[in-house]
Amino acid sequence: MSVKNKRNVSIFLIACLQFLSLGALNLTAAKANAKPTLYNKCFMGSQLGTGIGKVKTNPRIAKLGSAGYLTTGPYIPLEAGTYKVQLSYSSQFSGSSVNVGFVDRASNFRTIQGSSVPLSPQKAGVSNISVKFTTSRLLPAFEFRVFANGKSELQVNSICITQTN
């Protein structure tokens, strides 16, 4: 190879390295300026753990007279942030004075203090409840649990967990 060709190859290689390093810098800058992906996932009742419900059905069902945790889980890590959990459930009873159970939050199998919210469906059939919360630290095994008090048949259709910031 002639000296001129060697010089051209060297110039070409230097140009390639500069191009690649600039591209890597641009990718690094883009990653630094990118918004983090927010958590958003839904779980069917049949995908959640249960203490008293039928294991192979969706929705997850607790019969009249069965008291205990109808659903547990999904045992997922949640980063610090603000979240909304949407529960879709069904009950035979309705009215503001009717209480068919409650929901609460837990992490690492421990109930988070002050997280209990009563389930008081306003109409028979499918109802929805939204629970918003903020955590300042990682929750390594997050649970959104539904407790049935046995006063009504209770069905959990799904829960959706959405990070809002």
Does 5 score more than 60 pLDDT? no
The fold of 40-163 is Jelly Rolls (2.60.120)
Higher-confidence residue of 123 and 163: namely 163
Least confident interval from 1-10, 43-52, 135-144: 1-10
Domain definitions of the chain by residue range? 1-34, 40-163
* pTM of the predicted structure, to 2 decimals: 0.74
Does 147 score more than 90 pLDDT? yes
Does 20 score more than 70 pLDDT? no
Q: What is the DSSP string of 90-129?
A: EES--STT---EEEEEEETTEEPTT--EEE--SSSEEEEE
Helix or strand or coil: residue 77? strand
pLDDT one-digit tens code per residue, 28-56: 545 555 556 688 999 999 999 888 877 66
Residue 58 is inside which H or E element, if any? none
Predicted local confidence at residue 33, as pLDDT:
56
Q: Contact 158/90 with Cβ under 8 angstroms?
A: no
Distance CA 158, CA 89 (A): 7
Higher-confidence residue of 60 and 19: namely 60
Predicted local confidence at residue 24, as pLDDT:
47
Predicted local confidence at residue 78, as pLDDT:
93
